[in-house]
Structure 1
Amino acid sequence: MKPSLVLKMGQQLTMTPQLQQAIRLLQLSTLDLQQEIQEALESNPMLERQEEGDDFDSPDPMADGAEKTTENTTETRQETTYEETINTVENLEEGEWSERIPNELPVDTAWEDVYQTSASSLPSNDDDEWDFTARTSAGESLQTHLLWQLNLAPMSDTDRLIAVTLIDCINNQGYLEESLQEVLDSLDPELEVELDEVEVVLRRIQQFEPAGVGARDLRECLLLQLRQLSAKTPWLSEAQRLVSDHLDVLGSRDYSLLMRKMKLKEDELRQIIELIQSLNPRPGSQIEASEPEYVVPDVIVRKHNDRWIVELNQEAVPRLRVNAQYAGFVKRADSSADNTFMRNQLQEARWFIKSLQSRNETLMKVATQIVEHQRGFLDYGDEAMKPLVLHDIAEAVGMHESTISRVTTQKYMHTPRGIYELKYFFSSHVSTSEGGECSSTAIRAIIKKLVAAENQKKPLSDSKIAGLLEAQGIQVARRTVAKYRESLGIAPSSERKRLM
C-alpha cells in the first residue's frame, strides 16, 4: 500500500491541565490535601496562608482581602474569601499589564510541562533537608520487642544465637511456626547443639512479654498465660485442667459433656470458662507494628432548631490567598525570565485556589444531598438507613457518577452518632412485602440487634433470623443473612452458644 498524507477532521474530549488538577484535588483525602497544600505553599511564592489576626509589615490592604490598585492605600481590614482574592487579582491584572493571562491552556499540554507544581516536585538530595527515616519509620514489631527483651536476659553466645533463630520463627500472632527439630537443623552443625538445648531456650522466650508468646499451639498458649497468673486466682487449677485435657470439648461447646467429665456444676463451669475467655489466644497482636492512621472529618453535621445543618470543617484545610506584595511585582509588557516566572506562579496560584473552591463546593453539594436523603439515620440510627446509590446523588447534584465516587472516597462526615465515611451512606436494597425497599445497612443493624437479644443457650440460626426478618416484612434469603452476619463479624450459632 502506497503511503500518503490524508487530512481528516474529528472531535475528541481532552482534559486541560486545570481540569486535571481539579480532579486530582477532588479525590484526595483531607490529610493528603493538607500535604498537597503545604507543598504548594513551599513551591509557589504567590500563595500564602490566611491566618486570623494577620498583621503584615507592608501597608498593602490587599493582604486583608480589600480591592486595591498598585498604589499603596490604607483601608479597613476585613476577612478574605476565595472569590474576593480572585476578583482582586483580576483587577490587579487589568491595571498592571495589558495582555491578560489566558484562562485555559492548550488541551494537548500537561500541567507539569508548563508550571512547576508541587506534585512534580522531588525531595532534595541534601541530607540536611531530606530525612529518609521520617518516610520509612514504622511502629515496633513483635520480633523487635522480643529481641529487646533478649538483650536484657543473661545468656551464653550459643543460647543467644538459638534464641534469635527461634524469634525469627515466631509469627505476628505470637506462635512458633517451625518445629524444634527444624530450628535445630537450621543451626550450624559445628555448634553441636542438641534438641534439649533448643527447648530450654524456648522456655526462656516463653517467659517474655506478651504472655503466651512462643507457643506452638493454642493449648500451650493458654497454659502459658494461666501459669503467669497469681496462685490465688479463683478456679486456676480447674482452668489449667480444662485447657490441658478438654480443650477440644470446650471448642465444640458441649457443656454437658464438660460438666460430666470434670464433675462440675453449671455455675462453676461458667466461672472457669470466663477465666479462660479473659486470656488472649493471639498474644502477638498486642504489639502493633503499623503506624496509627488518623481520620479528619471533612464535613460536620449538627442539628439546630430541628434542622440538620451541613458545614465544611474549616480547620481541616488551611485557607489560602494570593500574596499581594509579590503579585504587585508583576510588570506589564515585560517578557523577561523573572517576570514570566512570576506571572506563571501567579496564574498557578489562581488556578490552585479555584480548584480548592470547586472541591469545597462539590463536597458541600454531595454531603447536603446525603444528609437530606439519610435524615432517618441521623435521627434514629442504622435501622432507619434508606437505600442509596451513587446514581441518585449524581442526578440530584447534576454530576457524573464518577465524580460522586471521587468525592465520597476517603471523605468523612462527623455526625452526632460518630464519624462515617461518605460511602457508608450508600447501600444496596432488598424488597419488602409491602412493595417498598430496605437498605442492606438497616438489615445488618436489625440482625445485630436480634443477635444481641438472643438466648445465649439457644442462639438464633441463620434460618431463624431470616424468618424473623420476614415477619417484619423484609424478604431475605438464609444465605444473604449469613453474608451480612459474617460482614458484621458475628460467629455462627454453633459458636455463639454460651452458658448463662
Structure 2
Amino acid sequence: MKPSLQLKISQHLTLTPQLQQSIKLLQLSTLELNQELERFLQDNPMLEREDGDGADFSPGLPNSGSASGEQERSEPTESPREDAEPTSFDEAGEWSSMSSGGSSRDDDDDTDFQELQAAGTTLRDHLDQQISLSPLSDRDRALVRFLIEALDDDGYLHQTLEDLLPLLPAELEYELDDLSIALRHVQHLDPAGVGARSPQECLSLQLRAMPGSETRDLAQKIVDQHLDLLAERNFARLKRLLGCDDDALRRAHALICSLDPHPGSQHSVQETRYVVPDVVVRKLRSRWVVSLNPEAMPRLRINSLYASILQQNRGSGGALTSQLQEARWLIKNVQQRFDTILRVSQAIVDQQRQFFDYGDVAMRPLTLREIADQLELHESTVSRVTTQKFMATPRGVFELKYFFGSHVATDTGGAASSTAIRALIRQLVDAEDRKKPLSDAKIAELLGQQGIVVARRTIAKYRESLNIPPVSLRKTI
C-alpha cells in the first residue's frame, strides 16, 4: 500500500494536571487531605497556613453555612463560630462547641490521659513484675520468664511444651517436667487465666481462682466437662447431666459469661482513632440544614511576602511564578472539594429527612445515581465524595455512604431501605422472648405482616451484618 498523509478529526478527554489534582483531593479523607497539604506546604514556599488572624483565604469558610437551595452557593450563610472547637451534640440536638479560652480543665484531662496511656504496662511487664517478687530461684525464674515471652497478647500459650523445650539452652539441662512446673507458676499470676492453652482452660483457671461456692463448683463442672453443650444452648440436657434446676443453671451460666476469655487484652496498647466530621447537620426552622465543620477545613493562603517580591520583579520570577500558580490551583481545588462535599451532603439530607426525624426505620432507598442526577454530577464524583467523609448529626456520626442502600419491595408497590429493614430486625430481636427467640423465618413472617416482603435468606444476611447470633445461640434458660 502506498503511504499517504490523512487528516482526521476526533474528540478525546484530556485530564489536565489541575483536574487530576481536583479529583485526587476529592477522594481523600480529612486525615489524608491534611497529609497531602503538608507535603505541598513543605515543597511550595508560596503556600502557607493561616494563623487565624484576619485570613486572606480559608477554603469553604465563605460557604461554610447551610447548603440551602434557597441561597446561591457564593453567598455567605450561617456557619459555626470559627474560634470554637466542635465536640458533640448537646441535649437539644445542637452541635456543642467549646472556646479555647475555657478549655484548660479539659486540656489537663487530655494530658493526664495521654500520660497514663504512655505509662501503661504491657502484659509481659505486668507478669515480670510479679515474678521479680516471687521466692523462686534464679533458674526457675528464668524459665518462667521464658514462658512469659512465649505468650501472645491475649495471654495464651499456643506452642506446646514439647515444642518449646528444644528452644532452651542444652547446657542448662531443662526437662519437660521443669516446663510444666514453670507453666503452673505462670497460670497462678494475675490476671487469672493467663498462660492457658485453650479458651476452655482459660475459663477454668479463672473459676479456680474464685472463692468456693455451689455456683462456682457448678460452673467449673460445666466448663471442664460440658462446655460444648453450653455453647449449643442445650440447657435441657445440661440440667439432666448435672442434676440441677433452672435457677442454679442460670446462675452458673451468668458466672461463666462474666469471665474474660482474653485476660491479657486489658494490658494491650490500643491506639484510639477519632473521626473528625466533614459536615454538621442541624435543624433550623423545621428544616435539616448542613454546614461545613471548620475543624475539618484547612486554612490556606498565599504567602504575602513572596507574592509582593514576585509582584515587584515581574518577568523575572522563574520558579516562584510557577509555584504561585500551583498554590492558586491548590487553594481553588480545596475550595471546590468542600463546595462539592457540602452540596452532596445537603442533597443526601434532603432525601433522607425522614431518617433525621424518626431514625433508621424511616431510611428510604437511595442510590448514587439519584444524587448525581439531582446535582448534575457524575456518579463517580458522588462516589468519591461519600467515601471516608463523615456527617455529624443529632443521631450520631455517620459516613456519607451510610445513607445509601438497596431496596426491598413492599406489598403496596413501594420499596423499603435495607437499613430500615435492619433496624426493624434489631427491634424485633430486642423485644423477643429469650426463652423462645425468633427464627429467621418467623422474622420474615412478621415483616411480611407489615407489608415488607423479605426472603428468609435475606433476613439471615441482614442479621449476620448486625452481629446478631442465630436463634439457637440467643436462647436462654
- Give the secondary structure class of the aligned counterpart of 1:311: strand
Aligned residue number for residue 457 of structure 1: 435
| CA distance in structure 2 between the aligned counterparts of 1:271 and 1:427, rounded to whole angstroms | 43
Q: CA RMSD in A?
A: 3.0
Partner in structure 2 of residue 417 of structure 1: 395
Q: Which amino acid aligns with 2:225?
A: D
Match for 2:182: what amino acid? V
Aligned to 1:53: 53
Q: Does 1:310 align with 2:281?
A: no
Q: What's 1:437 paired with?
A: 415
One of 152, 157, 160 as aligned partner of 1:176: 157
Q: In the alignment, what sits opposite 2:205? A: 224
Alignment partners' CA distance in 1, 2:11 and 2:423: 51
Inter-partner Cα distance in structure 1 for 2:198 and 2:140: 23
Number of residue equivalences: 419
Query: Aligned pair in 2 of structure 1 residues 82, 285: CA closer, same or farther (>3 Å)?
Result: closer
**Residue in structure 2 matching 1:470, options 432, 438, 448:** 448
1:376 corresponding residue in structure 2: 354
Return closer, same or farther for 1:303/1:3 CA change in 2, 3 Å cut-off. same
Deviations 1:16-37 (A, max 9, x none): 1111111111111112222223
Q: Is 1:207 paired with 2:185?
A: no
CA–CA separation in structure 1 for the residues paired with 2:422 and 2:53: 49
2:216 to 229, 236, 256: 236
* Displacement of 1:313: 0.2
State whether structure 2 residue 476 is matched by structure 1 residue 495: no
Residue 196 of structure 2 corresponds to residue 246 of structure 1: no
SS in 1 for 2:457: helix
Contact 2:347 2:371 (C-alpha < 8 Å) held by counterparts: yes
SS in 1 for 2:261: coil
CA distance in 1, matches of 2:148, 2:3: 70
Query: Which residue in 2 is equivalent to 1:352?
Result: 330
Which of 364, 367, 371 pairs up with 1:389? 367
CA distance in 1, matches of 2:148, 2:342: 52
Q: CA deviation at 1:81?
A: 5.6
Mapped to 1, the partners of 2:461 and 2:307 lie a distance apart of 60
Determine the C-alpha separation between the residues in 2 that align with 1:84 and 1:274: 55
Tell me the CA shift for residue 198 of structure 1.
1.0
Q: 1:149 and 2:127 equivalent?
A: yes
**Contact 1:210/1:286, CA 8 A, preserved across alignment:** no
Q: In the alignment, what sits opposite 1:25?
A: 25
Greater Rg by CA: 1
Residues 46-125 of structure 1: matches in 2 within 5 Å? 46-54=46-54, 65=56, 80=57
Distance 1:233 1:321, change over 3 A: farther
- Counterpart AA for 1:317: M
Cα separation, 2, equivalents of 1:215 and 1:357: 57
1:107 corresponds in structure 2 to none
Residue type matched to 1:28 in 2?
L
Change (3 A) 1:12 1:315: same
TM-score normalized with structure 2 length: 0.80
**Identity value in percent:** 52
Q: Distance in 2 between matches of 1:281 and 1:81?
A: 51
Residue matched to 1:41 = 41
SS at match of 1:330: helix
* Residues 461 and 493, structure 1, Cα contact 8 Å, conserved in 2: yes
Q: 14-23 vs 234-243, which deviates more?
A: 234-243
Give unpaired runs (5+ residues) of structure 1.
Answer: 55-63, 66-79, 86-138
Q: 1:346 to 1:254 in 2, by over 3 A?
A: same
Distance 2:184 2:5 in 1: 82
Aligned to 1:268: 248
CA contact (8 A) 1:390 1:405 kept: yes
Conservation of the 8 A alpha-carbon contact between 2:157 and 2:197: yes
TM-score of the pair, normalised by structure 1: 0.76
Long gaps (5+) in structure 2? 63-116
In the TM superposition, residue 9 of structure 1 has moved relative to its aligned partner by 5.4
Q: Secondary structure in 2 aligned to 1:449?
A: helix
Give CA deviations for 1:360-393 in whole Å, capped at 9, x if unaligned. 1110111011101111111111111111111111
Preserved contact between residue 183 and residue 195 of structure 2 (Cα < 8 Å): yes
**Equivalent-residue separation in structure 1 for 2:126 and 2:250 (angstroms):** 39
